[in-house]
A = this chain, B = another copy of it.
Amino acid sequence: MAARSRCVLQRVWIGFRSHSVCRPSLTSASCQGRLPRKPPIRHVSSSPRLDKSDTPPSTGPSSLSFRSHTCGELRSDHVGERVTLCGWVQYLRQDQFVILRDFSGLTQVLIPQEDSAGDLKAALCDLTVESVVKVTGTVRRRPDGQQNKAMPTGEIEVQAESIEVFNLSRKLPFEIKDFVKKSEALRMQYRYLDLRSFQMQHNLRLRSQLVMKMREYLCNVHGFVDVETPTLFKRTPGGAKEFVVPSRDPGRFYSLPQSPQQFKQLLMVAGIDRYFQMARCYRDEGSKPDRQPEFTQVDIEMSFVDQAGIMSLVEGLIQYSWPVEKGPIEVPFQTMTYEEAMRDYGVDKPDTRFNMKLIDLSEIFLSTEIQFLRSAVSQPGGSFQAICVPDGAKLLAGKDLENLKQTAKTHFGQELTLVLVKADGTLKSPLKKLLSPSDTDRILQRTAAKPGDLLLTAAGSSQTVRPLLGHLRLHCAQLLESRGITVRDPAAFHFLWVVDFPLFLPKEGEPEQLESAHHPFTAPLPEDMELLYTEPQKVRGQHYDLVLNGCEIGGGSIRIHKASIQQYVLNNILKEDPSLLSHLLEALDSGAPPHGGIALGLDRLVSIMVGASSIRDVIAFPKSFRGHDLMSCAPDFVPEEELKSYHISVNWLTKQKGGGDAGNRSEEGEESGMKTCQ
């Protein structure tokens, strides 16, 4: 029977600092059977902070470890204690101090200056930045006047008594300091260094804690079952954005699904009753900014529930798991219909942190003599609408205004007419000469525009005007913020439900054919059920989107649970080949309960929570916007031999391979002049 040793824990070398192999002072053999193993512990005991020795505590972040404390936890209570810290050298100061860092913070280590401690002093002074060491010493109060109030451990320092150097660090491509600016590409290439920053440590740890709380809520409070579903699956109909995975059967491919949609519904048919999963999902979208080819969703499905039930569940989930330091979240969340959202905000995911709503001015001009306005408001679905940008006339420059008009033309094919309200209340606008005094009054009244404000107006089909003004509303908010105006409170979290979406939309490029607004499994609103058979384009679905600060962070629906309705939707409305979903139709016909669910985008939710500018800042190892891993250079070339077992071969664009044209087009390399992934 082999004894297991904790020898390493006993080793202390003064001044050991070579790159060579560690030689233990006790051989493992001599340890065998001598050092009793501590029995593993089952219950949380007293806080590690109360431990009065330098041995590791039995629970908490230093349990089972070489250290007795983390670098962030020592306070004046600990003065006099002998402690062992492990960490990275943040910097050395005046040959007197080594600042040691771990995930939890910084501690100042005092270098002994006595002649008798010459080896130890030399070892400490020779450390390079980012080297990894273990230091044992005694906690002492810093001399008066040397406390650092900005540092949580700033009242104390550790008088070093021994050191073990685990690893000396080479000179690194950038310093591990949050204020050091690094290019995105450099951060990605050396992600293992980038993650050492306190910001990234905070982001990943907050994410982990959030997910843990969500699990507690779902499993322990509401009886959900965490079920893993396959990621090697069958291609779904129309799944053009699904990665394929060749199998050893010639011509047959798995597909990496965009969501576990079918599985979650099948689990309800299977009587699992309440399912959730932190589900890895895949979407091949080429290079879209701030999208990732793999992402994570909080995937939820329940049986015997209605829309209100799912919405309440999610509100409780967010409230329960919300980090305390971000302040409380109030429930229920605001709810808005799709029609209201489009009418007031010109978008189905309104940012409700600020006003600047769309205002319909059509009524004023129903019988106007202004030609372009009359023709706009009298056409079916036409309107004349405005948004009022407070202080826009005062703060935005001529170039800004020109850009707004250009955007309207280029991206929306739409004229934008500006109305500036001058300080004296008069207007500056191409419309000015055309408007009667009463028109002007009514416009100013309806829009509540004050001197200094800017009105952006557009006349035409509401289907264009609304999205245009919705877009410009956000754009102007950004513009004003860049001028120092607080339009949106950066600490505010506005959750919003958007409901009553249309179930079907005209297919792009084929407008007489309908396609699902979300997916073909969404149930119609009960009161619109009959329309399914008569005017399907008017049917609203039992779909709900969850919006946070203007970002869609989740969406779900009550599903169709009757095979006959599902079949009608697939066959008669969507004209899809139902054989591709025959297993789902069979399942619905085998005793399917009423059910519904939701999926929350975890990456997006966390990024908004921590105020990150990109979801890449809340993912440990993200891909670049072109889907590359800049650290390992994935995707990479594979020997043709290895592809043979999958019965595929590569269609090369050119004859060259690897070093050729095909391999050289690495956006990141060109962009930054760094190593290219070839």
Instruction: Evaluate contact between B208 and A227: CB separation under 8 angstroms.
Output: yes
6 A-B pairs whose Cβ atoms sit less than 8 Å apart in the complex: A7-B306, A22-B529, A167-B593, A195-B270, A231-B280, A234-B633
Q: How far is the CB of A204 from chain B (nearest CB, A)?
A: 6
- Residues of B contacting A228 with CB < 8 Å? 280, 296, 619-620
Please judge, given known A-B contacts A102-B273, A208-B219, A244-B246, whether A304 and B67 are in contact too, CB under 8 Å: yes
A669 within 8 A of B: no
- Residues of B contacting A229 with CB < 8 Å? 620-621
- Residues of B contacting A2 with CB < 8 Å? 335-337, 340, 499-500
Please judge, given known A-B contacts A244-B638, A648-B648, A650-B648, whether A222 and B63 are in contact too, CB under 8 Å: yes
A118 within 8 A of B: no
Q: How far is the CB of A60 from chain B (nearest CB, A)?
A: 6
The CA-CA distance from A389 to B65 in the complex, in Å, is 45
Partner of A263, one of B294, B320, B620: B620
Instruction: Evaluate contact between B315 and A40: CB separation under 8 angstroms.
Output: yes
Instruction: Evaluate contact between B222 and A60: CB separation under 8 angstroms.
Output: yes
- Residues of B contacting A266 with CB < 8 Å? 191-192, 621, 631
Closest to A45 in B: B221
- Residues of B contacting A638 with CB < 8 Å? 235, 244, 251, 253, 255
A271 within 8 A of B: yes
A212 within 8 A of B: yes
Q: How far is the CB of A345 from chain B (nearest CB, A)?
A: 13
- Residues of B contacting A589 with CB < 8 Å? 169-170
Please judge, given known A-B contacts A192-B270, A250-B662, A500-B2, whether A132 and B592 are in contact too, CB under 8 Å: yes
Closest to A266 in B: B192
The CA-CA distance from A20 to B568 in the complex, in Å, is 12
Q: How far is the CB of A475 from chain B (nearest CB, A)?
A: 26
Closest to A67 in B: B304
A29 within 8 A of B: yes
A525 within 8 A of B: yes
- Residues of B contacting A320 with CB < 8 Å? 42
Instruction: Evaluate contact between B132 and A593: CB separation under 8 angstroms.
Output: yes
Instruction: Evaluate contact between A234 and B635: CB separation under 8 angstroms.
Output: yes
Please report which residues of chain A, range 222-244, place their CB below 8 angstroms from some CB of chain B when the two chains form the complex: 222-223, 225-235, 240, 243-244
Please report which residues of chain A, range 190-228, place their CB below 8 angstroms from some CB of chain B when the two chains form the complex: 190-196, 201, 204-205, 207-209, 211-212, 215, 219-223, 225-228
Please report which residues of chain A, range 606-655, place their CB below 8 angstroms from some CB of chain B when the two chains form the complex: 619-621, 623, 627, 629, 631-638, 642-644, 646-653
The CA-CA distance from A309 to B86 in the complex, in Å, is 15
The CA-CA distance from A38 to B247 in the complex, in Å, is 50
Chain A interface residue count, CB cutoff 8 Å, equals: 184
Closest to A332 in B: B37
Please judge, given known A-B contacts A130-B590, A316-B40, whether A270 and B651 are in contact too, CB under 8 Å: no
Instruction: Evaluate contact between B204 and A227: CB separation under 8 angstroms.
Output: yes
Q: How far is the CB of A489 from chain B (nearest CB, A)?
A: 22
- Residues of B contacting A225 with CB < 8 Å? 204-205, 208
Instruction: Evaluate contact between B270 and A191: CB separation under 8 angstroms.
Output: yes
- Residues of B contacting A101 with CB < 8 Å? 271
Residue among A88, A132, A170 with max Cβ neighbours from chain B (10 Å): A132
Stoichiometry, copies per complex:
2
The CA-CA distance from A650 to B243 in the complex, in Å, is 16
Q: How far is the CB of A344 from chain B (nearest CB, A)?
A: 11
Q: How far is the CB of A417 from chain B (nearest CB, A)?
A: 31
Partner of A652, one of B61, B130, B251, B319: B251
Name the segment of A136-144, A375-383, A559-567 touching the other chain.
Answer: A559-567
Instruction: Evaluate contact between B233 and A629: CB separation under 8 angstroms.
Output: yes
- Residues of B contacting A499 with CB < 8 Å? 2, 4
A541 within 8 A of B: no
Please report which residues of chain A, range 577-610, place their CB below 8 angstroms from some CB of chain B when the two chains form the complex: 583, 587-594
Please report which residues of chain A, range 372-424, place their CB below 8 angstroms from some CB of chain B when the two chains form the complex: none
A103 within 8 A of B: yes
Instruction: Evaluate contact between B251 and A650: CB separation under 8 angstroms.
Output: yes
Instruction: Evaluate contact between A309 and B64: CB separation under 8 angstroms.
Output: yes
- Residues of B contacting A8 with CB < 8 Å? 306, 526, 594
A21 within 8 A of B: yes
- Residues of B contacting A307 with CB < 8 Å? 4-5
The CA-CA distance from A250 to B63 in the complex, in Å, is 49
Instruction: Evaluate contact between A193 and B651: CB separation under 8 angstroms.
Output: no
Instruction: Evaluate contact between B172 and A590: CB separation under 8 angstroms.
Output: yes
Instruction: Evaluate contact between A564 and B24: CB separation under 8 angstroms.
Output: no
Would you give the 0/1 interface string for A478-520, flagging 1 where the beta carbon is closer than 8 Å to chain B? Answer: 0000000000000000000101100000000000000000000
Instruction: Evaluate contact between A230 and B294: CB separation under 8 angstroms.
Output: yes
14 further interface pairs, Cβ-Cβ under 8 Å (given A3-B335, A229-B620): A66-B306, A191-B270, A205-B225, A208-B227, A209-B219, A212-B215, A230-B294, A231-B280, A232-B294, A234-B629, A234-B634, A244-B643, A252-B635, A648-B648
